[in-house]
Amino acid sequence: MARTARIALDLVLVSLKTVRPAVTKVWFTAKKKIESSRAEKLVDNIVIEKLETILDKISRLLELKIIEIRDKQLLPRELKYLESEIEKIKKRIGTNVKSAKIEQPKKC
């Protein structure tokens, strides 16, 4: 049952990641067309900007919550298995992620 729930949550997550950019693109295209017409005040106001920000935050929060719920579904033996698979892949590609360093840009 837990595996089925994880698969369903993965599908929801993929759908969310696929739909959000498409909806964003359509909205901004429509918004630009409206801004170039006489109905500009419908989309060029503070209420619409706040609504856009709120919807963006909600979609990101929803994505994080889905990931959190999905990750809680893992059984300890599944987690061990996945960690061992990650180690095998690291050895196969010859990288040691733990020892990798990220260079920070120098401040002027």
The Cα 21–Cα 96 span in angstroms is 33
Range of the domain at 85: 2-94
Number of domains in the chain: 1
Q: What's the chain's length in residues?
A: 108
Residues 6 or more apart from 73 whose CB is under 8 A from it? 2, 3, 5, 6, 9
Residue 11 lies in a domain: yes
Identity of the amino acid at 87? E
Q: Residues 74-78: what's their mean pLDDT? A: 77
Residue 100 lies in a domain: no
> What 3-state DSSP class applies to 30?
helix
Residue 105 lies in a domain: no
What is residue 102's predicted lDDT score, i.e. its pLDDT?
A: 43
Residue 101 lies in a domain: no
At 10-55, the pLDDT tens digits run 888 889 889 999 999 999 999 999 989 888 888 888 999 999 999 9
Q: Residues 79-83: what's their mean pLDDT? A: 83
Residue 73 lies in a domain: yes
For the record, the structure tokens of 18 come out as: 């696929």
